[in-house]
Structure 1
Amino acid sequence: MTTLDIPALQHLLATGHAPRLIDVRTPAEFETAHIPGSYNVPLDLLREHRDELRDHFDEHVVLVCRSGQRAAQALTIAGLPNLRVLTGGIAAWQAAHAPVVTGTPRWELERQVRLVAGSIALLAVLASTLVEPAKWVAAFVGAGLAVAALTNTCAMGMMLAKLPYNRGPRTDLDRVVTALTGDRP
């Protein structure tokens, strides 16, 4: 995987050689905080419309997400040789006190997954004191988390991303293409 670290990206931005920044997080996550000048192309939109979007990625593109995991998935999905992933994602960018555009704060998907998975497991264990087979719900959640770690995907996260809370402003193919073909910020 080709990566770009934060100091290198800051140098490119400062010297006027800014790559196109494609943020693959959900629209709600993007609205919460993003790098100035970045474009929101959610991972599921990229997955569904890869061929239409690839034509609009110029020669220097850096993919951004929260930590780098979804951006790495996007790198594989897009299948272009000129893409790089921002090491550490927006979390590392913010930790470096680099500039961000902020909006309505929302919980990140990973935090939501921890809340939902933990709550389901806890409730299943508590319920199993009354109805013994309920323990298998906790086992199912645990197995799902193990599979998510091994495959570096998260079905629960993908489902949570579709909730209205995580949708944020509407992001569809036409809006993304219009933004990508317009003047660069």
Structure 2
Amino acid sequence: MSLPTIKPSEARRLLDGGAVLIDIREADEHAREKIPGARHMALSSLDEMDVAVHHGKPVIFHCKSGVRTLANAPRLAGKLGPSCEAFVVEGGLDAWRKAGLPVVTDRRQPLELQRQVQIGAGSLALAGTLLGLLMSPWFFVVPAFVGAGLVTAGVTGFCGMAHVLMRAPWNRVVYGSPMRAKKA
């Protein structure tokens, strides 16, 4: 069973009536930017989700763009059970913001881990390419290594650079100790 989508304005109306809003993004994403009052239940922890969270009220799920939530809607609906009325915010947090609805941003929190990986991989590839062109062709090993790492991450779901970045000092706010996300 999939979940119907609703516009952010309709979600706001349901929330004003007592509905429960659940943010399924990861801890680093939720820490940086969130809809006020949204409960954080990361999709990666779906198996541990408390099914009684809604107490008979409608449940509204959201992610950043809506794509992740829609892709996992059957799992989310199955976790809540057939008697629970549930929805997905069409366009997610991005559409919520575009609709002029309130969003809390904490710029003291680090960038989302995915963005850190993109910046790191892009910087290494660019630097290696420039050094390969200007200094020595041996530097072309760097972008080749980065490319192999990205392919490996895409195929296996394991990203070595993300695991290294999780341990970086600026990410300790969100991750505490390595591999353990801070509860929001």
TM over 0.5: yes
* Overall identity of the aligned pairs, in %: 31
1:53 matches 2:22: no
Aligned partner of residue 52 in structure 2, secondary structure? coil
Q: Is the 8 A contact 2:15 2:21 kept in 1?
A: no
Segments of 5+ residues of structure 2 without an aligned counterpart are none
Structure 1: 5+ residue runs without aligned partners? 177-185
Normalised by the length of structure 1, the TM-score is 0.63
What is aligned with 1:114?
A: 118
Quote the residue 1:181 is aligned against: none
Q: Which has the larger radius of gyration?
A: 2
Residue in structure 1 matching 2:65, options 64, 67, 74 = 67
Contact 1:28 1:165 in 2 (8 A): no
Once residues 5 and 161 of structure 1 are traced to their aligned partners in structure 2, the CA distance between those partners, rounded to angstroms, is 35
Q: How far apart, in 2, do the equivalents of 1:13 and 1:23 lie?
A: 13
Distance 2:161 2:136 in 1: 28
Distance 1:113 1:42 in 2: 20
SS, match of residue 128 in structure 1: helix
Q: How far is the alpha carbon of 1:85 from its aligned partner?
A: 3.0
SS of equivalent residue, structure 1 residue 56: helix
* Match status 1:7 vs 2:12: no
Aligned length: 166
Q: Determine the C-alpha separation between the residues in 2 that align with 1:36 and 1:55.
A: 21
**Following TM superposition, by how much is the alpha carbon of 1:4 offset from its aligned partner in structure 2, in angstroms?**
2.8
Does residue 135 of structure 1 match 2:140? yes
Change (3 A) 1:159 1:132: same
Post-superposition CA distance 1:121-145 (Å, at most 9, x none): 1122134344535435424544627
1:41-87, Cα deviation, whole Å (9 max, x unpaired): 2333x15xx1x314334363322222234434654654436654322
Q: 5 Å matches for 1:166-181?
A: 166=171, 168=173
Residue equivalent to 1:162: 166
Q: Distance in 2 between matches of 1:10 and 1:26?
A: 22
Q: SS at the partner of 2:13?
A: helix
Whole-angstrom distance in 1 between the partners of 2:139 and 2:73? 40
Two-structure CA RMSD over aligned residues (Å): 3.9
Higher relative contact order (CA 8 A, sep 6+): 1
Corresponding residue of 2:93: 90
